[in-house]
Chain A
């Protein structure tokens, strides 16, 4: 099943990580409802399996796109295919080792990276290869870089820094004081979220540019090459960068760390979300003008991301007010915020990217099923999200206002958790309907040799997609508009 194109292989591994990760998410959610399940496979194992795997998806999905797009869509051959392949292999093998250790109950790390710290070494080494390869690749480009080159590079560079920073606890100066330790830990986690946002928002801008380029609409096609160089795109980039660097402080409002740390970065992340929402909205306005493009898969997922940005923006704005966070911190509102943005924004953008690549392979999955999956996932996700917010609010007021005990709180939130768990199951099914056909297409593309014409080192700028004379972009969706409804 191995594909010649490392980018595509990353995407296939990423899809696997997401499906298995969601499976453990469902299992963990059911454990909240039926704690007996703990006796077979404790939540102590399910939670890190879920969290590490879905975060792995975010990175694998973004990295796969970058390795694929640079040679195939930007006309920039990779500096080294070998380094890219090594990166994939080291990542994948390390991933399997981590899954095995978690399943055996061997930890030693911390939240999100709960694996023994020694396994950070292969991750850092392979990431270093990625960074070196990326820099060598894009420094060969002599024309001004589009904004997404900057964003990808920044995401890569700062992941390395913040990932290493999250291991400072191993030095006693940090590890010996819980206040300093947790301050640095959550500083680094906040910035790590910023790094995957950089990679993924960069991908979003890239996609908007390329989908417009191939839209068959003369105005849009003309404007497309400017998108990645526009003022607003660079404004977004620098705001996002500012947020990555300084916007993590809202994790720490309730910690006894220094006041200046806690009051920093109050509104930065909000402005960033606003700008990306504006960008996508603008894009939609342009794109939708004239025809309904909703049957185009990448477009459809970008639209979903856009709507979820608004929902998450509202929630994020609220909980970044310390007086409100007082009630929501340590409750399921935080989980809603975390999954709201990783699913609603990040995953939707990555799925847009995935289907852009799928469309590019000219082998098209069953669009009807994908469209069904799209709706099932989005609607159940809405229920899922609302339940988490509701459970969090009930818990927050119970704890802060009424000083309820743990058991009282659990009893009052249980109806919401029940609906949360079952809507999660439905969402899992919905996403599988989207992911499995995409994975099949990518895997069969390698078997049938479609790769040949798109061999990853060839610079094939703009030629991979032929635009039908009618000017429609149906090749991206692979079907007639009505087949997707």
Chain B
């Protein structure tokens, strides 16, 4: 492989990468799901979720730590928001710590969890497996 060929290949890959990155950044598919819920509380809740490092124990869309349950749809589960609120207020010692959250923080975290709940489904409940190994997941009730 000549030096020039290497340089060309390198450049092509970099340009492809930049183009792909921009397309990912600009992709609008489902990004507005739950947007009607977006509010100052949700934003604050999202930051609190990071400040208390909830991801160390919890997953969203299956991504995160494995000590506690996936929280994507905990608000619409049969346990529902009341259970979540009790969890946040008192914890479930010793597994889920009582983080000493204030009423305001609990309200914001619940708003964030409600927002997450509307953004999709995890783990998948309604899905189809295709013959080539791909899957179609129905994330939203109102999908065709």
Contacts and interface: CB of A to CB of B under 8 A. Distances in A.
A183 B43 contact: no
Contacts of A168: 25
A42 to B, nearest CB: 5
A74 to B, nearest CB: 18
B32 interface: yes
Contact of A38 (B3, B13, B34, B94): B94
B135 A245 contact: no
Contact of B31 (A179, A187, A322, A332): A179
A321 B51 contact: no
Contact of A48 (B53, B129, B130, B140): B53
Contacts of B123: 254, 329-330, 399-400
A256 interface: yes
Given A47-B56, A111-B64, A322-B135, A254 B69 contact: no
B80 interface: no
A32 B67 contact: yes
B30 A176 contact: no
Interface residues of A, number: 69
Nearest to B61: A255
A330 B55 contact: no
A111 B115 contact: no
A96 interface: no
Nearest to B64: A111
A107 B60 contact: no
Nearest to B118: A178
A157 B122 CA distance: 35
A7 B68 CA distance: 40
A144 B120 CA distance: 51
Interface stretch (A257-265, A290-298, A428-436): A257-265
B134 interface: yes
Contacts of B93: 39
A253 B43 CA distance: 26
Given A178-B34, A254-B122, A330-B70, A44 B56 contact: yes
Contacts, number: 167
Given A246-B17, A254-B62, A400-B124, A178 B51 contact: no
Contacts of B119: 178-179, 256
A323 interface: yes
Best-buried of B29, B66, B94 by chain A (most CB within 10 Å): B66
A261 B3 contact: no
Contacts of B9: 238
B89 interface: no
B13 A182 contact: no
B56 A43 contact: yes
A246 B135 contact: no
Interface in B85-113: 93-95, 97
A109 B49 CA distance: 10
A57 B3 CA distance: 33
Given A178-B34, A321-B133, A107 B50 contact: yes
A183 B27 contact: yes
Interface string B114-144: 0110011111110101100111010110000
Interface string A143-156: 01000001000000
A351 interface: no
Given A256-B139, A258-B27, A261-B24, A245 B95 contact: no
Contacts of B57: 43-44, 47
Contact of A245 (B16, B50, B120): B16
B52 A246 contact: no
B141 to A, nearest CB: 13
Given A180-B27, A184-B25, A31 B62 contact: no
Contacts of B25: 168, 174, 180, 184
Contacts of B6: 150, 234
Contacts of A110: 50, 55
B35 A177 contact: yes
Contact of B122 (A44, A174, A183, A330): A330
Contacts of A251: 63
A182 B119 CA distance: 11
A326 B135 contact: yes
Contacts of A461: none
Interface string A308-332: 0000000000000111101001111
Contact of A107 (B16, B52, B124): B52
A178 B50 contact: no
A182 B60 contact: yes
Contacts of A48: 53, 56
B18 to A, nearest CB: 9
A470 B138 CA distance: 68
A222 interface: no
Contacts of B31: 177, 179-180
Given A177-B35, A178-B119, A183-B27, A43 B20 contact: no
Given A114-B53, A330-B62, 13 more contacts: A31-B67, A111-B63, A176-B38, A179-B29, A182-B61, A187-B21, A234-B6, A241-B10, A255-B61, A256-B140, A263-B134, A323-B133, A323-B135
27 contacts: A31-B67, A38-B94, A38-B95, A43-B65, A47-B65, A48-B56, A107-B52, A114-B56, A165-B21, A174-B25, A178-B46, A178-B115, A178-B116, A179-B120, A183-B24, A183-B27, A234-B1, A241-B13, A245-B16, A254-B124, A323-B129, A323-B134, A329-B62, A329-B123, A335-B66, A400-B123, A400-B124
Please give me the 3 A-B residue pairs with the lowest Cβ-Cβ distance, nearest first: A330-B62, A258-B29, A256-B120
